[in-house]
């Protein structure tokens, strides 16, 4: 069969392949991904690829086409079935595989879907995704061959491995879980049966329509049901997942949200007791409070680029035992395998809370207070967004400002800091600011606005409620 395929260019993203089903993403794209990725695996001497899919209504059909494409390249496909993304990562890491592909739309709306990939034990992203697109259109693929597929069940092993790192004390916790109708549903039910304490699961049924709320735990509105349940049950903690359970949300016993960097502070203090002086990585959107608290706990804080694939690569390079992002991706490499897994992060967080002498709210409330904007995203053409960053960076350099250029520009002043970066996945710029007080934050917003206006852009809407941090 002659093979050649052109992807919708908007679907080839920095960290994954993603689009709107029936518009920019089709079963033919899934076949092409299998055919080209399978060719890459074959050419690197491999022959086994693990495949999983999430709970979206379009995922089973896309998985079938993906498997067909892999088999047409001579690949032996291990079909993990419907599962959370980290369970597929677990399969790819612990079994004899040469790669993995997860069919998932992550936290996107129900009409989206996509593909997250690993080659060997590493994330497949950036230039590799662009090369996959080139190979499909060239076409430049391995000769057609007859592969095979078989279904495997690793859910029991995965849950047993999660439980093996439980390290809570004698205190029995009351826990509310909001599965958010995510693909973790069945695995989560197994997990809570194995954990001590009292557990209540909300929205446990896997449903790709996400009837309860949008599956993104970084948005406060999506945590309202969880917060209400924590209050009603007088629970010790609430845990939430995104659509494929590689990102975590946490609320404390008072129903207060712990944002991604605050979650990482709690986890880092615990990890640093066993790994004093270790490097703890967080993305450029994280609070300065996080970096200061890591230092205070005896760690070496490292600010790095946003993006789960970029964070994983930096962890491997530095030997970091723990990393995290504001988006709720948490990566353990002390006892775990270095990939982002909300279920595992939850087990570790519960263990820490079970060993605390007081409630989790005490920890949050003892953190230094700051005031910050939410993450502000505003439209900017793909052809212009990186130019804007370069212009701002050049002006700041001549002004003598204290600037980190790791990912966009992050400017530190006596008032706090502000950030401007270009999204790697959308035609938008991303801004954020954090100050010691409302007045300090206003001055930071003004500085950011001035830079944007000098580049001919209107500032984002700052009228939303600032977050205490």
* Domain 157-366 = CATH 1.10.3720.10: no
CATH class of 9-153: alpha beta
Sequence-ordered alpha helix ranges (H) in 73-138: 85-94, 127-137
Question: 245, 217 in Cβ contact below 8 A?
Answer: no
Tokens of 355: 């060993």
**Segment (H or E) for 331:** strand 330-332
- State the Cα–Cα distance between residues 71 and 48, nearest whole angstrom: 10
Cβ contacts of 150 within 8 Å, gap of 6 or more:
76, 77, 78, 79
Q: Go through the chain and tell me how many residues it has.
A: 469
CATH node for 371-468: 3.30.310.50
Q: What does the pLDDT read at residue 377?
A: 87
Q: What does the pLDDT read at residue 374?
A: 85
Query: Quick check: do 9-153 and 157-366 share a fold?
Result: yes
Tokens of 153: 């069940």
Q: What is the pLDDT along the chain (469 residues), one digit of tens a residue?
A: 689 999 999 999 988 999 999 999 999 999 999 999 999 999 999 999 999 999 999 999 999 999 999 999 999 999 999 999 999 999 999 999 999 999 999 988 999 999 999 999 999 999 999 999 999 999 999 999 999 999 999 999 999 999 999 999 889 999 999 999 999 999 999 999 999 999 999 999 999 999 999 999 999 999 999 999 999 999 999 999 999 999 999 999 999 999 999 999 999 999 999 999 999 999 999 999 999 999 999 999 999 999 888 999 999 999 999 999 999 999 999 999 999 999 999 999 999 999 999 999 999 999 999 999 988 888 999 889 999 999 999 999 888 889 999 999 999 999 999 999 998 878 899 999 999 999 999 999 999 999 999 999 988 877 655 555 5
**HSE (CB half, 13 Å, CA atoms) of 12?**
18
**C-alpha torsion sign, points 5, 6, 12, 17:** negative
Q: What does the pLDDT read at residue 169?
A: 82
- Is residue 106 annotated as a catalytic residue, yes or no? yes
Q: Nearest CA to 367 among 300, 291, 443, 302?
A: 291
- State the Cα–Cα distance between residues 61 and 226, nearest whole angstrom: 32
Sequence-ordered alpha helix ranges (H) in 103-223: 127-137, 155-164, 185-194
Helix (H, G, I), strand (E, B) or coil at 304: strand
Q: What does the pLDDT read at residue 467?
A: 56
Predicted TM-score (pTM) of the model is 0.94
Query: What does the angle CA 355 – CA 360 – CA 361 come to, to the nearest 5 degrees?
Result: 155
Locate the domains of the chain by residue range: 9-153, 157-366, 371-468
**Segment (H or E) for 276:** none
Annotated catalytic residue, options 106, 320, 327, 423: 106
Q: Nearest CA to 54 among 96, 108, 7?
A: 108
- State the Cα–Cα distance between residues 294 and 272, nearest whole angstrom: 9
- State the Cα–Cα distance between residues 202 and 185, nearest whole angstrom: 10
């Amino acid at each position: 069969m002659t093979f050649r395929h052109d992807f919708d260019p908007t679907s080839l993203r920095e960290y994954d392949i993603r689009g709107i089903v029936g518009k920019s993403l089709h079963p033919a794209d899934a076949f092409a991904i299998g055919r080209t990725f399978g060719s890459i695996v074959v050419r690197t001497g491999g022959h086994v690829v693990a495949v999983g899919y999430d709970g979206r209504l379009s995922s089973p059909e896309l998985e079938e086409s993906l498997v067909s494409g892999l088999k047409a390249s001579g690949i032996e496909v291990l079909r993990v079935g419907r599962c959370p993304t980290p369970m597929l990562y677990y399969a790819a890491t612990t079994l004899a595989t040469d790669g993995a592909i997860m069919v998932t739309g992550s936290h996107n709306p129900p009409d989206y879907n996509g593909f997250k990939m690993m080659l060997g034990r590493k994330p497949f992203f950036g230039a590799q995704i662009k090369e996959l697109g080139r190979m499909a259109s060239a076409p430049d693929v391995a000769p057609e061959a007859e592969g095979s597929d078989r279904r495997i069940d690793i859910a029991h092993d995965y849950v047993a491995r999660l439980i093996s790192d439980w390290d809570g004390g004698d205190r029995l916790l009351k826990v509310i879980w909001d599965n958010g109708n995510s693909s973790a549903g069945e695995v989560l039910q197994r997990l809570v049966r194995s954990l001590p304490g009292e557990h209540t699961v909300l929205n446990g049924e896997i449903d790709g329509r996400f009837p309860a709320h949008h599956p993104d735990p970084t948005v406060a509105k999506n945590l309202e049901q969880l917060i209400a349940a924590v209050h009603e049950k007088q629970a010790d903690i609430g845990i939430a997942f995104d659509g494929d359970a590689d990102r975590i949300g946490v609320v404390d016993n008072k129903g207060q949200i712990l944002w991604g960097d605050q979650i990482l502070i709690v986890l880092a203090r615990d990890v640093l007791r066993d790994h004093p002086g270790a490097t703890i990585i967080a993305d450029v959107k994280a609070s300065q409070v996080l970096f200061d608290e890591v230092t205070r706990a005896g760690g070496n804080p490292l600010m790095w680029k946003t993006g789960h694939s970029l964070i994983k690569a930096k962890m491997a390079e530095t030997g970091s035992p723990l990393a995290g992002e504001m988006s709720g991706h948490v990566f353990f490499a002390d006892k775990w395998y270095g990939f982002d897994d909300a279920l595992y992060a939850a087990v570790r967080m519960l263990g820490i809370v079970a060993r605390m002498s007081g409630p989790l709210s005490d920890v949050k409330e003892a953190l230094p207070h700051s005031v910050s904007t939410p993450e502000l995203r505003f439209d900017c053409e793909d052809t212009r967004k990186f130019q804007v960053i370069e212009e701002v960076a050049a002006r700041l350099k001549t002004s003598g400002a204290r600037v980190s250029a790791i990912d966009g520009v992050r400017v530190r002043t006596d008032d706090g800091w502000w950030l401007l970066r270009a999204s790697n996945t959308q035609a938008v710029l991303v801004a954020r600011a954090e100050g010691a007080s409302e007045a300090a934050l206003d001055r930071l917003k003004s500085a950011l606005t001035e830079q944007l206006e000098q580049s001919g852009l209107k500032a984002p809407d700052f009228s939303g409620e600032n977050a205490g941090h």
